[in-house]
């Protein structure tokens, strides 16, 4: 029998709390940053699309706490390419 979704959610939260910084695999850190950028720059049924300035401010403000500082630096150095990709895939 599969564990309940509540149990899975709780286990996931425990794992996330236990992992910090470089303990989180690089793939997870990259995905986390990309997911926030993507979700905030696109309309969702539960929220409006944010402007790029607001999104970049959040990412910069969370540099070193929520996001890997090295990845944020790489992201910002290549922001034009990320914006172009983001605009190419509007959904």
Residue 91 has pLDDT above 60, yes or no: yes
Task: State the pLDDT at residue 22.
Answer: 78
More confidently predicted of 34 and 4: 34
Q: What is the pLDDT of residues 10-65, one digit of tens each?
A: 545 555 555 677 789 999 999 999 999 999 999 999 999 999 999 999 999 999 99
Q: Which two tokens stand for residue 50?
A: 């944010």
- The pLDDT assigned to 16 comes to 54
The per-residue pLDDT for 19 is: 67
83 has pLDDT over 50:
yes
- 3-class DSSP state of 22: helix
Structure pTM? 0.75
Residues in the chain: 91
Residues 6+ apart with CB under 8 A from 64: 72
CA 1 to centroid of chain Cα atoms: 32
d(CA 46, CA 9): 21
């Amino acid at each position: 029998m599969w564990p309940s979704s509540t149990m899975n959610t709780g286990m996931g939260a425990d794992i996330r709390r236990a992992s910090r910084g470089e303990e989180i695999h690089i793939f997870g850190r990259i995905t986390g940053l990309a997911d926030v950028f993507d979700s905030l720059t696109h309309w969702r049924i539960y929220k409006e699309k944010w402007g790029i300035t607001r999104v970049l401010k959040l990412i910069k403000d969370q540099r070193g706490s929520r996001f890997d500082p090295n990845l944020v630096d790489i992201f910002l150095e290549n922001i034009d390419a990320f914006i172009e990709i983001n605009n190419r895939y509007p959904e």
